[in-house]
């Protein structure tokens, strides 16, 4: 394999010039180096953005936090600014291993756009906005518009993800994240479910659900979210929604699990959510 040149720009402006010339960003390298080794990516040269100060800021705003794309999962987990977003922390904690969390970045997870991307489950629940920048200017896209398919995004050539805005949810929803894999550590999800649930007097007032690894992108099963409103928080009261949730999924069979198994696990995760909420309430 021919070595690929790597450049290290001093700032964002220089980065954008390199991207215009056809360079491909590399942050932690935990996805792109694997893709290059497998021959799936053949960039003419790599542009190292992992230490760009413009991409390494976490800004606390009134309505939420704006996290720089080059912040690592570990940095986000230990930053005071993510305290008000427990769902983000729950999801990030399950990524890879300590070494992967210390190297991989949130921007890399978003641009890789894997249906198994763990931070993405939290980003869909929080209805995050992706801030993109190129020499032509800036634009913001909601996460579900930025990700257009499995490993596909709306990123244009010459563009970079600068940051991701995560709004604080209203009130105090309970948050839940559960990832099912083939083993306990260093595992890519066979299926995962994240949820934000607002409840009052033992009944659901509002629910947001997001599933990983059971569809081409992270899935928000809107009909189940709506059907939960007004129901008691108990597995018995949610039982009839298990087949509805399974039917909303559109999984693939791969090395890790069959489509049928993934569908089944997704349904069971809904009951695990009800059980957990019942004990929390």
Ligand X SMILES: Cc1cc2nc3c(=O)[nH]c(=O)nc-3n(C[C@H](O)[C@H](O)[C@H](O)COP(=O)(O)OP(=O)(O)OC[C@H]3O[C@@H](n4cnc5c(N)ncnc54)[C@H](O)[C@@H]3O)c2cc1C
What whole-number distance in Å separates Cα of residue 236 and Cα of residue 182? 27
Candidate list 16, 76, 111, 196; residue touching ligand X; CB under 6 A = 111
Q: In whole angstroms, what separates CA 76 from the centre of its chain?
A: 13
Per-residue contact flags (x/-) with ligand X for residues 228 to 257, judged by CB under 6 A: ------------------------------
Shortest CB 191 distance to ligand X, Å: 13
46 pairs with which residues across the strands? Answer: 6, 24
In order of 25, 58, 102, 274, the CA distances from 119 in angstroms are 19, 16, 14, 22
In order of 86, 201, 211, the CA distances from 241 in angstroms are 26, 21, 15
Q: Which residue carries 């987990």 as its tokens? A: 77
Q: Does 32 bind ligand X (CB under 6 A)?
A: yes
In order of 146, 156, 189, the CA distances from 139 in angstroms are 11, 11, 31
Per-residue contact flags (x/-) with ligand X for residues 144 to 183, judged by CB under 6 A: -----------x----xx----------------------
Shortest CB 59 distance to ligand X, Å: 16
Candidate list 82, 105, 213, 249; residue touching ligand X; CB under 6 A = 105
The phi and psi torsions of 191 (rounded to 5 degrees) equal: -160, 150
Candidate list 16, 23, 27, 192; residue touching ligand X; CB under 6 A = 27
Q: What angle do CA 113, 196, 58 make, to 5 degrees?
A: 60
Candidate list 108, 115, 221, 267; residue touching ligand X; CB under 6 A = 108
Per-residue contact flags (x/-) with ligand X for residues 82 to 101, judged by CB under 6 A: -------------xx---x-
Shortest CB 202 distance to ligand X, Å: 34
Candidate list 8, 17, 24, 79; residue touching ligand X; CB under 6 A = 24
Going by C-alpha positions, the residue among 130, 137, 135, 105 that lies closest to residue 14 is 135
Candidate list 128, 188, 266, 270; residue touching ligand X; CB under 6 A = 188
Q: Closer to ligand X at the Cβ: 107 or 204?
A: 107
The phi and psi torsions of 216 (rounded to 5 degrees) equal: -60, -30
Binding site for ligand X (CB under 6 A): 24-32, 34, 49, 55, 69, 95-96, 100, 103-105, 107-109, 111-112, 117-118, 155, 160-161, 186, 188
């Amino acid at each position: 394999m021919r070595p690929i040149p790597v450049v290290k720009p001093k700032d964002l402006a220089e980065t954008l010039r390199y991207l215009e010339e056809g360079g491909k960003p590399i942050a932690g390298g935990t996805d792109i180096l694997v893709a290059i080794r497998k021959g799936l990516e053949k960039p003419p040269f790599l542009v190292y953005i992992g230490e760009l100060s413009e991409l390494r800021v976490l800004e606390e705003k009134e309505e939420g936090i704006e996290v720089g794309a080059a912040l690592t999962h570990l940095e986000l987990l230990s930053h005071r600014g993510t305290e008000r977003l427990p769902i983000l922390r729950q999801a990030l904690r399950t990524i890879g291993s300590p070494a992967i969390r210390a190297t991989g970045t949130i921007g890399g997870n978003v641009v890789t756009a894997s249906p198994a991307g763990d931070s993405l489950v939290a980003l869909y629940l929080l209805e995050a906005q992706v801030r993109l920048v190129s020499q032509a200017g800036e634009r913001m896209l909601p996460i579900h518009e930025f990700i257009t398919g499995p490993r596909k995004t709306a990123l244009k050539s010459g563009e970079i993800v600068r940051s991701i805005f995560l709004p604080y949810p209203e009130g105090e929803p309970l948050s839940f994240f559960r990832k099912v894999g083939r083993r306990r550590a260093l595992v890519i999800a066979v299926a995962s479910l994240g949820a934000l649930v607002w409840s009052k007097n033992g009944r659901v007032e509002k629910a947001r659900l997001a599933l990983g690894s059971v569809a081409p992108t992270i899935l928000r099963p809107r009909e189940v979210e709506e059907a939960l409103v007004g129901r008691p928080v108990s597995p018995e009261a949610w039982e009839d929604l298990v087949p509805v949730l399974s039917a909303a999924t559109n999984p693939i069979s791969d090395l890790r699990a069959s489509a049928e198994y993934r569908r089944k696990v997704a349904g069971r995760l809904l009951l695990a959510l009800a059980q957990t909420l019942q004990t929390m309430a």
